[in-house]
Amino acid sequence: MSGHSKWHNIQKTKGAADAKRAQAFTKIAREMIVAVKEGGSGDPNNNSRLAAVITKAKAANMPNDNIKRTIDKALGAGNTDNYEKIVYEGYGPNGVAIIVETMTDNRNRTAGEIRHYFDKYGGNMGAANCVSWSFDKKGVIVIDNEDEELDEDTVMMEALDAGADDFEPDGETFVVYTKPDDVTSVAEAIIAKGYKLLSAQVEMLPQNGYIKLTNEDDIKNITKMLDMFEDNDDVQNVWHNWEE
């Protein structure tokens, strides 16, 4: 599984970090509303999709009050939010494969924006499944080890005992891989052991590793493209096979 490169040590101002955090909460809240509506229940014990989103919210340090308010909003009779999940696929510079998962209330707006980002930065948006066939869907749980105080063998054994399929150290984190349907139960078991999670969700991971770019213009363009995707309020997740 080596090559999972989502987590970096990037120095940012507090204001920028706070803005990113607020945006992450907004995106999780949108996902939570959809989970409640489609699952037909605000009780995670009776709604597995909601349970998965709540686990993701906890990993992102979303306050419990925010979670409760979002669920209450979704259950409210006056709630008119009508989001749908749409996945776009395409290529970035030098053939980098990109999958963009969105949740939108206006598919025409979102499709136009996603296509614009692809075109502007040297890529092109393709048809459904043009790149997703080369990715595997897996549960990915990222455990914080910023202080490097955790014992790798202990964490690994507890993760595997909880039902994980694979485990690897990655910088100041440990990455745990599970079957897609197991990510919530494994994450909850890891949280119960007292570990801090940075992320817990189902992701799309490239089957054949990551592409390394050497051209400076390609690197600048792919970086800008991915930033534009991530900053779009309709975009929930972006997966790719570029080695950052």
Q: Cβ-count burial of 132 within 10 angstroms (0-12 exposed, 13-18 middle, 19+ buried)? A: middle
- Looking at the domain assignment, is residue 230 inside a domain? yes
Spatial distance between the Cα atoms of 38 and 19, rounded to a whole number of angstroms: 29
- Residues 182 and 93 placed together within one structural domain of the fold: no
- Residues 128 and 215 placed together within one structural domain of the fold: yes
What three-state secondary structure class fits 77?
coil
- pTM for this entry: 0.84
- Looking at the domain assignment, is residue 68 inside a domain? yes
Q: CATH number for the domain including 43? A: 1.10.10.200
Element (H, E) at 101: strand 97-104
- Residues 160 and 194 placed together within one structural domain of the fold: yes
Residue pLDDT tens, the chain, 244 long: 544 544 444 444 456 677 788 888 999 999 999 999 888 899 999 998 899 999 999 988 999 999 999 999 999 877 777 899 999 999 999 999 999 999 999 999 999 999 999 999 999 999 999 999 999 999 999 999 988 899 999 999 999 999 999 999 998 999 999 999 999 999 999 999 999 999 899 999 999 999 999 999 999 999 999 999 999 999 999 999 999 8
- Looking at the domain assignment, is residue 153 inside a domain? yes
Contact 214, 192 (CB under 8 A): no
Q: CATH number for the domain including 173? A: 3.30.70.980
Give the chain's domain count.
3
CA distances from 53 to 28, 39, 128, 132, 161 (A): 7, 12, 25, 23, 23
- Residues 70 and 92 placed together within one structural domain of the fold: no
Domain around 63: 14-75
